[in-house]
Amino acid sequence: MKTTFDFIVIGSGPGGYSAAIRAAQLGYTTAIVEKYSALGGTCTNVGCIPSKALLDSTEHYHTAQTKFEDMGIHTGQLSLDTNQLFARKDSVVAQNAKGIRYLMDKNKIEVFEGMGAFLNDTTLQVINAETTHQLTARYFIIATGSKPASLPEITIDKKRIISSTEALSLGQKPNKMTIIGGGVIGVEMASIFSRMGTKVTIIEYADELLPSMDRELGKTLKRSLKKQGVNVLVSHKVQTVKSYVNTVTVSYLDNKGKEQEQTADYCLVAVGRKPYTEGLGLENTTVQQDEKGRILTNEKLQTHASNIYAIGDVIQGAMLAHKAEEEGIFVVETIHGQQPQIHYDRIPGVVYSWPEVASVGKTEEELKAEGKDYNIGKFPFSASGRARAAGENEGFAKVLTDAKYGEILGVHIFGPRAADLIAQAVTAIKLEATDQFLTAISYAHPTYSEALKEAYWEASGKGSINL
């Protein structure tokens, strides 16, 4: 078995496997190291893919409950088979992991299963239950991702106090669930379980959900979730969480500073994630980390060891699968002598609630803080012919443009298929397009994308056209 390579990638998530594939495409001998038997990392196995499978399944169930009758569809007695719900999720995950394995084989990438730990800057030891390998490479890419974080006063016991990892494999419908954290993960988990019939409460320390996004998105999502039966508590501070045999109790201060208490079947801690570098042997290298455990890199994503690079959740920046993908390809192409670029302000953020939330570029709060003159264009999906036809009247498309030149500064969408619509906005910002230009191109009618066109029309001062 070969033990010396041009590239060794540690971690097989989206960043890792994208980097490995690009390296192989460019003619480099490449290996990937993964401590689990299934490839794909957190995203494929316990993150993006399983959560989206459950989100889609429960959204179908919710739609059948709430919208079919209006459409003239009568299903009779409706029921939810939670065993099949989670079994389908497992099947989707397995198919994706199998697809990644196929890509490794297709691109002749050597896969080493086991825990990888650096012995020095040029040697990696990989240990599993049966074998030990010492591997060397010209370049290493650390792509080990992240794991769920908690609060100092909370211990995730994986029984009653759980993270998203355990929640995605519960296999049952809890009667009550308390979710600590109203960010992306907390909101998506709330959507899944509330649609299943679980009574869900979100406790968020900030004064709105999705505190890192445009404030209007969080406010609108809060109203939407409340209409769906989710209890949303913002400006609340968790004090303690106590786990018992069959229940868990969360104590918190409400927005008036009064102590409150809530008991549920599970408490899901969704307060973010932290870099996963345990057991990586970084102490044997010249790689350095900051106070939060993130690996320090330069503008080329190169660590203090010139032959070791790091990408994705283990470095500074948003913890997004598509960010890691971009960074993995960026590192390989940079080493290859190309001149790729990453513009972090052009990487979109998405929340897969329903309606979906998607955002790219500057928020209105950021533009105000900068003293930037800007125009706002906003169009409601309730005025969209396509949205009316689909019964998806909730939400809006909001664009922020430069007041002088009309350049697109930010786009924020709360509505149906926002996750797909945001791609056009990313392209527009990448090309430095103007609101005038984006009203001059043809949009198929009727489509959800016309909501963006109408928002551009309004921002440009042209007014809008009734759909």
DSSP for 388-412, please give it.
HHHT----EEEEEEETTT-BEEEEE
pLDDT of residue 462: 72
Residue linked to tokens 């998405």: 350
Q: 104 CB contacts (<8 Å, ≥6 apart)?
A: 17, 20, 32, 39, 111
pLDDT of residue 467: 55
Q: Choosing from 60, 336, 343, 445, which is the catalytic residue?
A: 445
pLDDT of residue 199: 98
Query: Do 161 and 155 form a contact (C-beta atoms < 8 A)?
Result: yes
CA 67, CA 54: separation in Å to the nearest integer? 19
Predicted TM-score (pTM) of the model is 0.96
Parallel/antiparallel/unpaired status of strands 266-269 and 161-162 = parallel
For 52, the enclosing helix (H) or strand (E) is helix 48-66
| 3-state SS assignment for residue 321 | helix
Q: 16 CB contacts (<8 Å, ≥6 apart)?
A: 9, 10, 32, 34, 41, 141, 143, 311, 312, 324, 328
pLDDT of residue 1: 77
Residues of the chain where predicted confidence (pLDDT) is lower than 70: 463-467
Closest-CA residue to 458 (of 369, 360, 388, 380) = 380
What is the Rg, in whole angstroms, of the alpha carbon atoms belonging to the chain?
24
pLDDT of residue 463: 66
Domains of the chain (ranges, CATH numbers): 4-147+274-344 (3.50.50.60), 161-271 (3.50.50.60), 355-460 (3.30.390.30)
- Bridge partners (DSSP) listed for residue 32: 9, 111
Instruction: Clarify whether 236 is annotated catalytic.
Output: no
CA 67, CA 412: separation in Å to the nearest integer? 26
CA 108, CA 102: separation in Å to the nearest integer? 10
DSSP string covering 100-125, please?
Answer: HHHHHHHTT-EEEESEEEEEETTEEE
Q: How far apart are the first and last CA of the chain?
A: 63
